[in-house]
Chains A and B, each alone.
Chain A
Amino acid sequence: MNHGPLIFLGIFLALAASWYGTVVAPLLQFGHQQQVTVGAGSTRYPAARSGQAQRGKDVYRANGCFYCHTSQVRQSGVKFDVVLVSAGTNKAGLISAALLIKPGITADEARKLIEQTPKPLLQGVTRPEADAAAKTLAIPDVKFEIILVPVGGDVERGWGSRVSVAQDYLYEQPLMLGNQRIGPDLTTIGARQRSAASHLLHLYNPQMTVKGSTMPPYRFLFEKRKAGPRPSPDALQLPAEYAVEKGFEIVPTEKAQALVAYLLSLDTQLALFEAPMPTAPKQPELGASTNQTSAAAFTNTAAANQPAPK
């Protein structure tokens, strides 16, 4: 019995099927995503990176930071906040509504609650609860918003405010999501730590800035050189016990500067249609028609993502 050709054909089919299903089909579906405009239509997302930050990404790749750091936020679900934006004129009606929504409180507390706006009435409730509250609050003149809040370990650790989606990675080349969290997620590190100087100190010697850190030091991205009559402006401000000998200073190389520029560029996560996130409640005078009767139209500034005009 000679099955050679049969095996050959079968294998070909099997490979072709998986190749089509996992490579070609997704490629056809979303291999050509585009920049979108979010918010009022003026912000394009994602933005392309500046030259220095892009070079910094190269340093990130060359030194394999992604073997310890992920660049992807996960979320386990969403909760809702009900925020009072403007109390309006019908105070009595609002107080009784507040008592209904929050059964545990006294009338006095309810009065205090609505004194200042914007004020969260309910936090972290489920969708049906938020909807019920919306019905109760449907009093003419009272303005409130229902805000969607992503939840999950990553979000609570402050690694991001929403789940990462395909749109976020449009311009990543190469894409380095990482698959180990030996260190924290870096999706929004530029927003968490805005100081370039702190980043440089941390890279120079993580154990110096974070006791017990297991991140390797990147001293080879720095140069030790003779200090001139005046210390150079970008020399590291080392604490006394880590200082180098007198007359010398540690300065970051171009690579270190670029790497930090890259880290600082990781600071935006905008609300997208497929990944909404909380936006600060609008001030009453700005809020146009926020009197919503259902949570169906929850705050999501990007509800109408449009492909950006070319």
Chain B
Amino acid sequence: MAVMFLFSSALIWLVIGIVLGLISSIKLHGPGFLSQLSWLTYGRVYPASQNAVVYGFSAQALLGIALWLIARLGRVSLQGPGMIVVGGVFWNFAIAMGLVGILTGNSTGYEWLEMPRSASSLLFFSYALIGVWALITFHMRRERQLYVSQWYLLAALLWFPWSYSTAQLLLVVSPVQGVMQAIVNGWFVHNLFEVWFSFLGLAGVFYFIPKIIGQPLHSRYLALFAFWMLAFFGSWGGVYADAPVPKWVSSLSIATRVMMLIPMLAIGLNIQSTLSAHCAILKTNMVLRFVWVGAISYLLATLLGIVGALRSVSEVTLFTLYTNAITNLQLYGFLGMVVAGGIYYIVPRLTECDWPSTGLIRFHFSTATLGVALLVLPQLIGGVLQGIKLNDPQVPFLSVVKSTIPFLGMSTLGELLLLVGNLALLVNLLKILPACCTCCLGRVSNSTPQPKAVAVGGRI
């Protein structure tokens, strides 16, 4: 019940976020679009859409998956589901407040922390509610042996409150001076994506892939090695090469960023070796397909991030669409796909119902994959071209602007596809809810995770 609540509200935020993103995306090539309304001006819709997708969708849905996994892997029922629902309600309320704040011009001005202070405090509070019960569930586990995913989840649960509160304290509550703000902000964003989201998403990847193919993970040690590498090196970066700060700060960022190659390769190798003999299942199992695309997006986004951080590359790609491409690949490619896979896997087990329409699932997969590709590739290529032209003072600025427009148009199309795909998921979910209302209320309210015979994975 708690998990279902988080899933459904997350999906609603995703749709809202993509709609807002679509509006901002259209504005980039048609500046006149909806330009009379102050609350829909580009500089407000864009951060609103990002916040809706990051906190409303990704964080919330991943927390839902995390709760389910913690209970499942520990062979206990979720503790304090009532409190978690309360936390979830507050969480959604906080995001609504935050978005209204941003749209009415009360953004803080810090990237990914735009929500005004009242909203972010509430967000933190509701996270604490959810997080505490997740930790209690973890503590009560009956299966003492820890699986890899649990390591990742435990780390993630602790990571967010620390980095979020540090950033809030040093930026919003009692702001630090000058460029220190950029450093703290960069550190937070980096931790949010490279550590927190990675941990949550990878926990899912490491659970679903072996589970679906019915084989153990290729190497537990490789996964744990990647875990420690991510924890120790993933958390350092965040300051770009040419930032107006003393050189050592950005150099440190770049060096640790390059170190990320090691966990990236370890994770890639591990997934590849686990899957290699079972590629056939990829053709038939939709959940596996989603998670697989998610994992590939993760690896790609990490690689692009590392390349983009190098001084010589960053000279070109900094301040261009390249940055957006990586963020979108992480949000929609990695997190979006893993979450979708997770929802398709978990919901039937929670509700004891099958998905009403497998056609919609296939449709979602194709549109979402195509959508991510259309969103990310043009931004990647367009970004590099934009960077090259920006660095050449012979090219007038306006022609740089004009040359990005076709790429921006394609991205808008990609975003539209993502919207359609995720609507399919939402429709499916809304269909399953009433159909299973009785079982939802009867059984799931105590969320006893029972190994179910319904082999969703096998059939869809």
Residues in A lying within 8 Å of B, measured CB to CB: 1-4, 7-8, 10-12, 14-15, 17-19, 21-23, 26-27, 29-33, 61-68, 70, 72, 74, 76, 152-153, 156-157, 163-184, 206-207, 210, 212-220
Contact A64 B47 (CB under 8 A): yes
Instruction: Say yes or no: is B320 at the interface (Cβ < 8 Å to chain A).
Output: yes
Contacts of A177 in B (CB 8 A): 182, 243-244
| Chain B, 113-159, CB within 8 A of any chain A CB | 138-139, 144-146, 151, 154-155, 158-159
Instruction: Say yes or no: is B221 at the interface (Cβ < 8 Å to chain A).
Output: no
Instruction: Say yes or no: is B55 at the interface (Cβ < 8 Å to chain A).
Output: no
State the Cβ distance, A145 to closest chain B Cβ, in Å. 26
Contact B402 A26 (CB under 8 A): no
Instruction: Say yes or no: is B184 at the interface (Cβ < 8 Å to chain A).
Output: yes
Q: 8 nearest interchain CB pairs?
A: A64-B43, A62-B105, A156-B393, A18-B235, A174-B109, A14-B231, A153-B391, A220-B38
Contact A180 B319 (CB under 8 A): yes
Contact A67 B320 (CB under 8 A): no
Contact B31 A66 (CB under 8 A): no
Closest to B256 in A: A18
- Given contacts A23-B183, A62-B106, A184-B397, 8 further A-B pairs with CB under 8 A are A1-B144, A7-B155, A12-B158, A33-B177, A63-B41, A180-B319, A181-B319, A214-B28
Closest to A73 in B: B244
Q: Which single member of B32, B154, B253 contacts A11 (CB below 8 Å)?
A: B154
Contact A170 B109 (CB under 8 A): no
Contact A166 B246 (CB under 8 A): yes
Residues in B lying within 8 Å of A, measured CB to CB: 27-29, 31-32, 35-38, 41-44, 46-47, 105-111, 138-139, 144-146, 151, 154-155, 158-159, 162-163, 166, 170-171, 175-184, 187, 191, 228, 231-232, 235-236, 238-239, 242-246, 249, 252-253, 315, 318-321, 323-324, 386, 390-393, 397-398, 401-402, 404-405
Contacts of A175 in B (CB 8 A): 109, 178-179, 181-182
Contacts of A165 in B (CB 8 A): 244
16 contacts between A and B (CB under 8 A): A4-B139, A17-B232, A18-B232, A19-B162, A23-B166, A26-B249, A64-B47, A70-B319, A163-B244, A179-B323, A180-B321, A212-B402, A214-B401, A216-B27, A217-B35, A220-B36
Query: Cα distance A12–B171 when bound, in Å?
Result: 22
Query: Cα distance A170–B180 when bound, in Å?
Result: 9
State the Cβ distance, B186 to closest chain A Cβ, in Å. 8
The residue in A4, A65, A210 that gathers the most chain B C-beta atoms within 10 A of its C-beta is A4
